[in-house]
Structure 1
Amino acid sequence: MSNKKEYRIILSGGGTGGHIYPAIAIANEIKQRYPDAEFLFVGSKDRMEMDKVPQAGYQIEGLWISGIQRKFTIKNLSFPFKLINSLFKARKIIKRFKPNVVIGTGGFASGPLLQVATSKGIPSLIQEQNSFPGITNKLLSKKASKICVAYDGLERFFPESKIIKTGNPVRQGLLDIDSKRDEAKKVFALEKDKKTLFVLGGSLGARRINELIEKELDFILSLNIQVIWQCGKLYYDKYKIYNNTKHVQVHEFINNMDFAYAASDIIISRAGASSVSELCIVGKPVIFIPSPNVAEDHQTKNAMAIVNENAALLIKEADLEVDFENKFSQLILSVEKQNELSENIKKLALVNATKQIVDEIEKLLKN
């Protein structure tokens, strides 16, 4: 098959960086193989994908869709209208663009888009990032052509014959961060004789992690540590004052994540699926603080899959007051423990995930 083929490909996913960046990574790999392919992303209006996807060089259209709240709120009353509107617009997009394949990486918009695509017999692939899938992907899996997963045991939720374990797509720049360490230290203007803590609360930020770092900042600095703190878009105005503190730099968002990872010695992170996959490849000692405010507590399940292999530490939000200083200081003071976690987490990395997912997409294109 000639790589001159002008395939038309729709990718749908968004809401958080954990859904957006895997979709972009997949698109980049397809584009490398098929330079003449035409791409369209479909996301949710007013979400971060509407900025991040065009920055990556791709066209995007937005649906008027949002998730349904688990607790009853007035916002839930608009959900049926948003869903009907999004299904209608998804039909128009599919009819106009005529995709050869549709790929869903999670997020609100992927539900209506994949539902319409599969109802019209268009080949579809779901890229499920979590160890515990959400209700949308469970429903979509019945009609999806293939489901690429990152964890074992997903046959509990999906048809076993459709599952391919590939891992989660990651940014290609992370595959060789060791060679970037010296340059990264310069980019972030870090001191060479201090260990660097990188605090990563997700693309939008994590309120409880930010509160923790603010409270424990003096303690952290007392251990001869410098801090790169990505506090997130929602919290930057509150925490940017700490840019005035020596050895602390606060960022709303970090675009050159490969340099941030390369410069770091210890990482504190949420346990979203994409972050977990990236951290396995990065191979640095990690303390996971999972968000308890996600469906089925899937971040804790993601983190425990790593912790159970003695490859990371975990502190629950409810235990931060009691456990943080003790666990953090023990890790900082034990080079042996740092090396052990680093070696073990690297063993869990699935470095060829993006290529394997696109191999499966190619099979759908050939049929």
Structure 2
Amino acid sequence: MQPKTVAHSAPLRVLVSGGGTGGHIFPAIAIADELKRLRPDTKFLFVGALGKMEMDKVPQAGYEIRGLWISGLLRKLTLDNLSFPFKVVHSLWTSRKIIKEFRPDVAVGTGGYAGGPALFAAAKMGVPTLIQEPNAFAGLANKWLGKHVDKICVAFEGMERYFPASKLVITGNPVRENMLEKALELSASRNDQAPQTVFLMGGSGGARSLNEALRDNTELLAARPQVQWLWQCGKHYYESFKDCASAQLPNVTITAFVDDMAEAYAAADLVIGRAGSTTIAETQYLGKAAIFVPSPWVTEDHQTKNVLALTAKDAAVYVKDVEAQRTLIPTVYELLDDDARRRGLGQRAAEMVQRDGVHRIAQEVLTLISSPTPSTN
């Protein structure tokens, strides 16, 4: 049963910052959608990083966004790194200007380059602030912000290692529940005779090792023509991989970005992806068997820590990035040939899910401004 909306006399004004990748953007949008459902008159303003995908995805979701001149630190000495201090100062100044103009009642951050200056500025200006940490290992920016914000919503236990325990609330990760419920409906009506389907997604930007694993194993893919592959290679890699031999196989469909995620998830007997928090949360929600290949490039290897939390309960399969080219496709076939193992993985993943995470976070946001909306069970 969906919680009821509650009317209030004055419109709520919410500043939201989350971007850089889909793992930051879509949770931010999900939180905004839930707040809008609870408080339909709410006014939203998103803050993102200029040139990043949130500048397109947020307006597509129906929200206004302002951009900051900000980027992350790269691992090698570059002009961008040399300009980083200037970007931070400029972004803090711009954030203060945006906050003065918009006058938010509360500020919410889900990570990304713009979150640091936007949430820090809001906290220092007396705006109630909340951040959402999706991973089992907190990144540097959120650890730093944790000292200044009022509340921190997390998905894993033991996060007092990184944050003040008094600010922590375990809510689970926000997911696009409307999309996932649609996927469940489509799955329920799926024909039992439908071909086995593997959905490989490398995230919004794509994952080179996953793409290379498919590109370099054309013979293995062709040897099982009854297995259908939906290959989301990412916008950065589409031109490089769309004409490869594997992409030309009749049982392989390659795309830069999947717009209808519900349909893709519903069709999938097995999901392959990076071990980002959103991907994990969505596969858990759906009870899908999954193979996770953690990115070796993320901060402090947090994706490996994410997937180990699942493999400890036999709720997913872990393939190392350096081994993907050699072992990924054989691992896929092993799982497709073992129904009991595959279904067991999905069932145990579903047992780990924390449903209503986005509603819990929205409630914490409302509580922060002393206007909680009572939930119904």
Fold-level similarity (TM above 0.5): yes
Query: 2:246 aligned with 1:245, yes or no?
Result: no
1:320 aligned to 2:324?
yes
Decide whether aligned partners of structure 1 residues 276 and 86 sit closer, same or farther in structure 2, where only a CA change above 3 A counts: same
* Alignment map for 1:75-90 (pairs within 5 Å): 75-90=80-95
SS at match of 1:229: strand
Gaps of 5+ in 2: 1-5, 372-377
> Is the Cα contact below 8 Å between 2:198 and 2:271 reproduced in 1?
yes
The alignment partner of 1:175 has SS state of helix
Q: How does 1:58-73 map to 2 (within 5 A)?
A: 58-73=63-78
Letter in 2 for 1:348: M
Aligned with 1:359 (options 340, 348, 363) = 363
| CA pair 261-4 structure 1, distance change in 2 beyond 3 A | farther
Corresponding position: 1:236 with 2:242: no
Shift of 1:73: 2.9
Deviations 1:249-286, CA, capped at 9 Å, x for gaps: 11111121111101110111101111111111121111
- Alignment match, 1:39: 44
Contact preservation (8 Å) 1:15, 1:48: yes
**Equivalent residue runs for 1:1-367 within 5 Å:** 2-172=7-177, 173-181=179-187, 192-223=193-224, 224-241=226-243, 244-366=248-370
> How far 1:198 sits from its partner (Å)?
0.2
CA displacement 1:176-198 (0-9 Å, x = unmatched): 5232137788xxxxx94420000
User: Which residue identity does 2:77 align to in structure 1?
Assistant: F
Deviation at 1:4, TM superposition (A): 4.4
CA contact (8 A) 2:213 2:329 kept: no
After the TM superposition, which of the residue ranges 32-41 and 234-243 deviates more from structure 2? 234-243
Contact 2:19 2:48 in 1 (8 A): yes
CA contact (8 A) 1:268 1:286 kept: yes
| 1:70-109: CA deviation from partner (whole Å, max 9, x where unpaired) | 3333321010111111011001001110100000000000
Alpha-carbon contact 1:201-1:269 (below 8 Å) kept = yes
Query: Which one-letter code corresponds to 2:143 in the other structure?
Result: K
3-state SS of 2:272 partner: strand
For residues 294 and 69 of structure 1, the distance between their equivalents in structure 2, rounded to whole angstroms, comes to 11
- Deviation per CA, 1:26-72, whole angstroms, max 9, x where unpaired? 00001111111110000000000000000000000000000012333
Query: 3-state DSSP class of the match of 1:329?
Result: helix
Residue aligned with 2:322, SS: helix
The CA deviation at 1:221 is: 3.9
Question: How far 1:321 sits from its partner (Å)?
Answer: 4.3
CA gap 1:55/1:95 in 2 versus in 1, 3 angstroms = same
CA gap of 1:114–1:171, structure 2 versus 1, over 3 A, is same
**1:106 match: secondary structure:** coil
The residue type equivalent to 2:209 in the other structure is R
Query: What is the TM-score of this pair, normalised by structure 1?
Result: 0.95
TM-score normalised by length of structure 2: 0.92
Q: Alpha-carbon deviation of 1:336? A: 1.0
Instruction: State how far apart, in whole Å, the 1-side matches of 2:13 and 2:190 are.
Output: 38
Q: What one-letter code is carried by the residue in structure 1 that aligns with 2:235?
A: K
The CA distance in 2 between the partners of 1:126 and 1:46, in whole Å, is 23
Indicate how the Cα distance of structure 1 residues 323 and 239 shifts in structure 2: closer, same or farther if over 3 A, else same. closer
**1:269 and 1:287 in contact (8 A); partners too:** yes
Does the CA contact (< 8 Å) of 1:3 and 1:35 recur in 2? no
Asked whether the 8 Å contact 2:314–2:348 carries over to 1, the reply is yes
Which deviates further from its counterpart, 239-248 or 155-164? 239-248
Q: CA 1:78/1:192 → structure 2, altered by over 3 Å: closer, same or farther? A: farther
What is the count of residue pairs matched by the alignment? Answer: 362
